[in-house]
Amino acid sequence: MAAIGALAPHASAQATPRPQPFCIRGVSLDRAGEVKATLILRAGAIAAVLDEAAPVPPGVRVIDGAGLLCLPAFLDSYSRQGCTVPQPVKDQDVPPDVLADVGIDMRLANRKGIQPAFLAATALAISKEQGEAWRKHGFGALLVAPGGELLSGTSTLSTTREAAMRDLVLRDEVFAHAAFAASGPGYPSTLMGYFAQLRQFLLDCQRQIELEQRYGQGRPGLRPPFDAELASGAALVSGQRSILCEASESDDIERWLRLADEFGLFLDFVGGLEAWRVKEILLERDATVVLTLDWGKEAKDPRPKDKKGKEETEKERAESEPAPEVEPMPDPGVEHEVTTPADEEQLWKYEEPFAVRLERRQKWEQGRDCALRLHEAGVRFVFGTANGKPGELLKNVRSLVEAGLPADVALDALTRRAAEFLGVEERLGSIATGHDATFTLWRADPLTDEDASPAWIFVDGFPSEFKEQAKKSKENGVGPGEGVDPTGTWRLVFAEAEGVKEATLALEMEEDGSVTGTLEFENPTGGPRVESEVEGHVAGDQLELECTLEFGEFEIDNTLTATIEGDTLDGESSYQPPGSNTTTRQTFSAKREPE
């Protein structure tokens, strides 16, 4: 019996899956296809990078890499997905004694928006579908970041493979995260209040450090209380941890830098839509910007183009336009047809002035070209999805390459430079012996070819294989899947919506997958019911619609994306509120009404 007990697998409950050894033969290691090699993978790492014709070692599974491009897996340097951030406890102290004298110091009276001790690693929750979505676009790791608070906690670096949460964490504590925002009602709720709340907390952290030093030296005074938030804040004011600050506008970047000068903080920035305006300051501060590429819907370019497709300047446009014709004065002896106001309304349609449309287009271009301006100035930048999707980020990176950003620079920002920023350059971001076996085998160059798709992705040596997707046609793109048709009337219900709760969507689909219809809902501002025409297309089981919503003087461009499954839709609405540079996203579900 003792012998049988000794043979039992005592540690089976704690066993961690081990990846199979692989040999990937004849794969290209550079975008030009000039360098080919054979990779040997063992124990989740790259054991060797051999010559293309090197013999296959025994005991390994062989993958033919001919015609495939091997790139380090992309790193998502900032994602708000993957963990649920709790709302900070506002009042953490005992109730005050109203009959006692006034206290000489402030206790934990108000901590709204302050929770630097929260660790994203303790709340990590990446679903199977989320992990697969990152892997399908070549991403092997992501920074799971808390947000939405003045000090929202500390991020964690996670892989994208399907595994137990404890096996996903690459770095449990990476950055502290900050924003000029605080959830919940009451003070603070304005920019001035946010700034004051942050300064008060950082001053409290400095005082806590001094009290602990005095107590440790045996000097007179009370024992400092244990306070996890002050302990985490002390690491910030002492420079032990860098803070990643949310800032899309250049004014916010400068506000954060003034706060850093006062308290000796080390800062980097995320968002960065207007970072190009302060590129010299960022270069001087040696700061890194995580660009989320949240440009909003592309504004139509009002500038006419010449025969070669080149945009005309305003001066050239003015010179090329003919002089306006002057109508002759009517002859009083001849009867003329009189038009009514109703007739004039039918004949005349309002169009915004050219200068307004041009300014909107130029502002959109400035946001898109921010990465180009930062690259020219020598400012470090990487890319992150924020609240978006990995496919959208990769699509926008390709747009930057088309606009003039060198493809190798864009690749660096997704791999090697991102690994340095996240502190894992010794394990990720390169194809080299000893690095983690986290890379992607592409069928085409993902930086220049919109139809590029991964054949394989390895994360920690664990493979995921993907079938080749149908390429988009120039006319209509990928058509609808078999039996997929969104034609009908749908009742949409929005989750966690502050304004619109429900909407009605009436759609018709053509044979090629193009979709038209109307979106109608109650005006959340109390005005007349809002109705807008929508248009889009169906690719496979994916529905994408675009429309422009009008609320009085404001117009909001809205995009609806959803997965069609029978008579149900599950999707997301994304738009930019008036005066905002960030995209708001709301999930919704829908059911098709019976005929």
State the Cα–Cα distance between residues 399 and 410, nearest whole angstrom. Answer: 11
Instruction: Tell me, rounded to whole angstroms, the distance of Cα 50 from its chain centroid.
Output: 37
* CATH numbers and ranges of domains, the chain: 488-592 (2.40.128.30)
> Strand pairing partners for 462?
459
Return the axis-axis angle of helices 191-216 and 250-263, rounded to nearest 10°.
20
| Residue 151 tokens, joined | 């000090």
pLDDT tens, position by position, 333-386 = 655 555 555 555 555 667 788 898 899 899 999 999 999 999 999 999 999 999
Determine which of 291-305, 519-533, 563-577 has the lowest per-residue pLDDT on average: 519-533
SS3 19: coil
| Residue 502 tokens, joined | 């429900």
Which distant-in-sequence residues (6+ apart) come within 8 Å of 368 by Cβ? 295, 399, 400, 403
Cis peptide before 188 (omega within 30 of 0): yes
SS (HEC) of 460-497: CCEEEECCCCCCCCCCCCCCECCCCCCCEEEEEEECCC
Cβ atoms of 205 and 231 closer than 8 Å: no
Number of Cβ within 10 Å of residue 595's Cβ equals 5
The DSSP code sequence of 91-116 is: --SPPP-TTSPPPSS--S---TTB-T
Q: What is the reported pLDDT for 96?
A: 64
State the Cα–Cα distance between residues 401 and 407, nearest whole angstrom. Answer: 6
In the predicted model, what is the mean pLDDT of residues 431-438? 96
Amino acid (one-letter) located at 293: L
Residue 576: pLDDT over 80: no
Q: Which of 151, 89, 141, 91 is nearest to 119 (CA)?
A: 151
Element (H, E) at 572: strand 568-575
State the Cα–Cα distance between residues 234 and 440, nearest whole angstrom. Answer: 40
Element (H, E) at 377: helix 370-377
State the Cα–Cα distance between residues 73 and 229, nearest whole angstrom. Answer: 35
Local confidence band at 105 (pLDDT 50, 70, 90 cut-offs): low
Cβ atoms of 101 and 134 closer than 8 Å: no
Q: Which of 302, 310, 298 is nearest to 399 (CA)?
A: 298
| Residue 42 tokens, joined | 């063992």
Q: What is the reported pLDDT for 85?
A: 86
Residue 573: pLDDT over 60: yes
In the predicted model, what is the mean pLDDT of residues 524-552? 82
Residue 474: pLDDT over 60: no
Residue 186: pLDDT over 90: no
Q: What is the reported pLDDT for 429?
A: 95
Element (H, E) at 282: helix 279-285
Q: What is the reported pLDDT for 79?
A: 96
Residue 314: pLDDT over 60: no
Instruction: Tell me, rounded to whole angstroms, the distance of Cα 341 from its chain centroid.
Output: 49
pLDDT tens, position by position, 46-104 = 999 999 888 889 989 999 999 999 999 999 999 999 888 888 876 666 666 677 776 65
pLDDT tens, position by position, 20-35 = 999 999 999 998 888 9
Q: What is the reported pLDDT for 475?
A: 44
Q: What is the reported pLDDT for 12?
A: 45
In the predicted model, what is the mean pLDDT of residues 550-573? 83
> Strand pairing partners for 51?
37
> Strand pairing partners for 463?
458
Local confidence band at 326 (pLDDT 50, 70, 90 cut-offs): low
Residue 562: pLDDT over 60: yes
- Confidence (pTM): 0.80
Local confidence band at 109 (pLDDT 50, 70, 90 cut-offs): low
Residue 444: pLDDT over 60: yes
| Residue 526 tokens, joined | 């109390």
What b-and-e string marks burial along 446-476, b requiring 16 or more CB atoms within 10 Å of the CB? bbeeeebbbbbbbbbbbbbebeeeeeeeeee
Q: What DSSP designation does 350 have? A: -
Q: What is the reported pLDDT for 158?
A: 97
N-term to C-term CA, the chain: 71
Share of the chain above pLDDT 90, in %: 55
Determine which of 192-196, 338-342, 457-461, 501-505 has the lowest per-residue pLDDT on average: 338-342
Q: At CA 466, angle to CA 463 and CA 472, rounded to 5?
A: 150
Share of the chain above pLDDT 70, in %: 83
State the Cα–Cα distance between residues 39 and 64, nearest whole angstrom. Answer: 11
State the Cα–Cα distance between residues 327 and 73, nearest whole angstrom. Answer: 66
Q: What is the reported pLDDT for 380?
A: 97
Residue 535: pLDDT over 50: yes
Cβ atoms of 177 and 145 closer than 8 Å: yes
Q: Which of 199, 200, 147, 148 is nearest to 175 (CA)?
A: 147
Local confidence band at 193 (pLDDT 50, 70, 90 cut-offs): very high
Which distant-in-sequence residues (6+ apart) come within 8 Å of 308 by Cβ? none
CA dihedral 416, 170, 384, 457 (to 10 degrees): 70
Which distant-in-sequence residues (6+ apart) come within 8 Å of 129 by Cβ? none
Q: Which of 17, 135, 118, 157 is nearest to 73 (CA)?
A: 135
Q: Which of 280, 271, 282, 279 is nearest to 249 (CA)?
A: 271
Q: What is the reported pLDDT for 86?
A: 86
Q: What is the reported pLDDT for 93?
A: 64
Element (H, E) at 289: strand 288-291
In the predicted model, what is the mean pLDDT of residues 148-170? 94
The rounded mean pLDDT for the chain is: 85
Q: What DSSP designation does 122 have? A: G
Q: What is the reported pLDDT for 88?
A: 81
